[in-house]
A and B are shown apart, each in its own frame.
Chain A
Amino acid sequence: MFELLGVAPQVLFGQLLLGLINGSFYALLSLGLAVIFGMLNVINFAHGAQYMVGAFAAWMLMQWAGVGYWWALLLAPVLVGLFGVALEKTMLSRLYKLDHLYGLLLTFGIALMLEGAFRHQFGSSGMPYPIPDALKGGQNLGFMFLPNYRAWVVVASLVVCSGTWYAIERTQLGAYLRAATENPVLVQAFGINVPVMITATYGFGVALAGLAGVLAAPIYQVNPLMGSNLIIIVFAVVVIGGMGSILGAIVTGLGLGLLEGLTKVFYPEASNIVIFVVMAIVLLIKPAGLFGRER
């Protein structure tokens, strides 16, 4: 069968595995977007920029404070998350009463400003960030050479994704959150501090973007443009998965990574548009997205 497709099975398995790795990035990023959208109804256009800031935070911690990868993995998302909290408190929270478009424009503007500032400071070629010693090297799987670091990325991303899904869909806190989205006034009446919960949710979503940035730093150049390259794809993933659906974001992220990997084998020139073709088809057939509900 593989011979029929004109591709050796080794190549195919290799590409599928790579697709899974990229898919886990898509999943992690679209998860943050979906959490924010699902709970706050804000379309967080600064997500790509926050992912970039996460990577730069890791670089700055290493360069200026001598903090290594593992601590950066913890500290950088916290810093980026705190930045998100400040953003929500000072600006975003004023826009909830207005049309969603305002939130989108605000976050979009913030993304442009962040990218511009980092480009001004660091240039467009980016900065190198080394792979941590413990994860250097790789395994020869027979059909491909799998770098240890990429394997770690898949594991870390799956753990974070499933953890988040569990926290929101299966715990008491998650139940409060979901209830607060449906009817904030009623939930507040039960004595739950809804504004704090919303701020925390935004901070958490942004921290997820920061975490993805740290995970990406050793693979890609730490580059001011790294977020804008990715954000459009991630938005498409969220649209296909069904907006605000946590499970949809995770499953679609991984699935589209695989699909993109296959495209890179059979028709590489189309690899940057295949996701948008899928988006168009899904929207025609199932306008709410694969896992979404019409509101």
Chain B
Amino acid sequence: MRTILLAGVALSSLGTALASGAAQAQMSDSVVKIGVLNDRSGIYADLAGEGSAIAARMAAEEFGNAIGGAKIEIIVGDHQNKADIAANLARQWVDTEKVDVVADVPNSAAALAVQGITKDKKRIFLMSGPGSTDLTGKSCSPYGFHWTYDNHAMAAGTARALVEQGKKSWYMVTADYAFGHSLENETTTMVKQLGGKVNGAVRHPLGTSDFSSFLLQAQGSGAQVIGLANAGGDTTNAVKQAAEFGITQGGQSLAGLLLFITDVHALGLQAAQGLLLTDGFYWDQDDAKRAWSKAFMAKNGGKAPTMVQAGVYSAVKHYLKAVKEVGSDDPDKVAAKMKELPVDDMFARGKVAANGRMFHDMYLAQVKAPAESKGAWDYYKIVKTIPAEQAFLDPKESGCPLVK
């Protein structure tokens, strides 16, 4: 009987693996095949997931789902936030399914693994979901494009704004993997540069449900700001429990260093109001964004797009534009063309640098109070625009060997 129960314990950890869907197999050379690889079932499924696939399909539809006789095909895969699964899936896509482009890949650990594969196999990699600056730094690739945001931009937005308000002492609560470490580093560097200090940090496993212990340590540190270097469900749980433990009433501020609109929706405005955050895209910012987002929401069960999803649209569209101009899907030529063409769509106006970083303006936003919100998804006030050069690291300082 004990063996059965033990087998059960092992089995339950396999649960999510069994539940995941595999990519559809189809082989052809006369197709432009785009694989949207992300978390479709775990804590990042709402901020990327199927929404990113919808966004990619919307980009393909603008080209009539075909370029010069070649069909555009979008396939999807679930990496379950595991770097090894992401790597295997990407390798399989490229080797046996002739995938030309891997897109999205939230979770920096997974993205770093996929970057290695797409670099070796010469395939375009359009990153919208991951945050680590290493992706355009020491792990950059001539085929890698980092589109939507990165941890430096998050720190340059939220951390800078808070330090400039005089909140100079910080304590970090960090997700214990590549992304969290990178966000913690970027924030620490930014805070110190501006004359502040970081009192300490505590690292929690990805997918933690109880944050009370970490929050208590942060509370005990006496820091003015508790910086949450995590994302998705981890951030929402931490924010919710911080309210419970009276952290904001005690005079400490909470900084969600990476907060998506789906997180704010999950928290509710009552709990999230007043939070400052950095965003690359807010659906209600101008007419073009509104029009695109309305079409997106109609396909996505009424849920507004996150910056990650809008970024997937923009990156895929830019890629397809380059393919069209080049008249081939040769990865070297297309990558060069993508760096040559300016980015100009509803998501952003910008330019791709030599290290693959797409430079575009970011925004500092504040979550509205319930009384200010006119309805569902009316959540942000844009406080200021962060110019691209300030938001992103100078490619020359990125440490990417491609930049000379």
Contacts and interface: CB of A to CB of B under 8 A. Distances in A.
B9 A104 contact: no
A132 interface: no
Given A10-B220, A45-B8, A116-B19, A230 B202 contact: no
Given A124-B41, A128-B266, A112 B18 contact: yes
Contacts of B216: 11, 14-15, 18, 144
A198 interface: no
B209 interface: yes
A220 B204 contact: no
A111 interface: yes
B376 to A, nearest CB: 13
Contact of A128 (B18, B19, B240): B240
Contacts of B42: 124, 225
Interface stretch (A84-92, A157-165, A171-179, A235-243): A235-243
A219 interface: yes
Interface stretch (A67-75, A186-194, A203-211, A266-274): A266-274
Nearest to A49: B15
Interface stretch (B96-104, B120-128, B244-252): B244-252
A128 B268 contact: yes
Nearest to B173: A268
B335 to A, nearest CB: 33
Contacts of B203: 268-269
Residue from B4, B18, B212, B219 with most neighbouring chain A CB atoms (10 Å): B212
A235 B4 CA distance: 12
A130 B240 CA distance: 10
B63 interface: no
Contact of B213 (A124, A226, A229, A261): A261
A108 B10 CA distance: 12
B213 A232 contact: no
B26 interface: no
A124 B4 contact: no
A126 B220 CA distance: 29
Given A108-B12, A261-B213, A123 B46 contact: yes
Residue from A127, A137, A264, A295 with most neighbouring chain B CB atoms (10 Å): A264
A192 B6 CA distance: 34
A100 B5 CA distance: 10
A101 B205 contact: no
Contacts of A219: 210, 240-241, 244
Given A10-B220, A112-B18, A144-B216, A127 B1 contact: no
B2 interface: yes
Contacts of B219: 145
A295 B19 contact: no
Contact of A126 (B2, B176, B212, B236): B236
B13 interface: yes
A100 B18 CA distance: 21
Contact of B43 (A45, A124, A147): A124
A159 to B, nearest CB: 22
The size bracket of the interface on A is 35 or more
A8 B219 CA distance: 13
B157 interface: no
Contacts of A112: 15, 18-19
Contact of A232 (B12, B212, B214, B237): B12
Contact of B217 (A11, A19, A101, A236): A11
A243 B2 contact: yes
Given A124-B46, A268-B203, A21 B240 contact: no
B254 to A, nearest CB: 15
A253 B213 CA distance: 17
Contacts of A108: 8, 11-12, 15
Residue from B2, B19, B176 with most neighbouring chain A CB atoms (10 Å): B2
Nearest to A148: B244
A149 B208 CA distance: 20
A142 to B, nearest CB: 13
A271 B204 contact: yes
A243 B233 contact: no
A1 to B, nearest CB: 19
A225 B233 contact: yes
A123 to B, nearest CB: 5
Nearest to B204: A268
A221 B232 contact: no
Interface string A96-125: 000011001000100110011001000111
Nearest to A239: B5
A231 B202 contact: no
Nearest to A218: B244
A6 to B, nearest CB: 13
B45 interface: yes
Given A100-B4, A264-B213, A269-B176, 12 more contacts: A8-B220, A15-B213, A100-B1, A112-B15, A112-B19, A124-B49, A128-B271, A147-B246, A232-B9, A235-B5, A243-B1, A272-B205
6 contacts: A144-B216, A145-B219, A150-B212, A221-B267, A225-B42, A243-B1
Interface of A: 8, 10-11, 14-15, 18-19, 21-22, 41, 43, 45, 48, 100-101, 104, 108, 111-112, 115-116, 119, 123-128, 130-131, 137-138, 144-145, 147, 149-150, 219-221, 223, 225-226, 228-232, 235-236, 238-239, 243, 261, 264-265, 268-269, 271-272, 283, 287-288, 295
10 cross-chain pairs, A with B, having the tightest CB-CB distances, nearest first: A125-B266, A128-B268, A264-B213, A124-B45, A125-B46, A272-B205, A123-B46, A147-B244, A235-B9, A18-B212
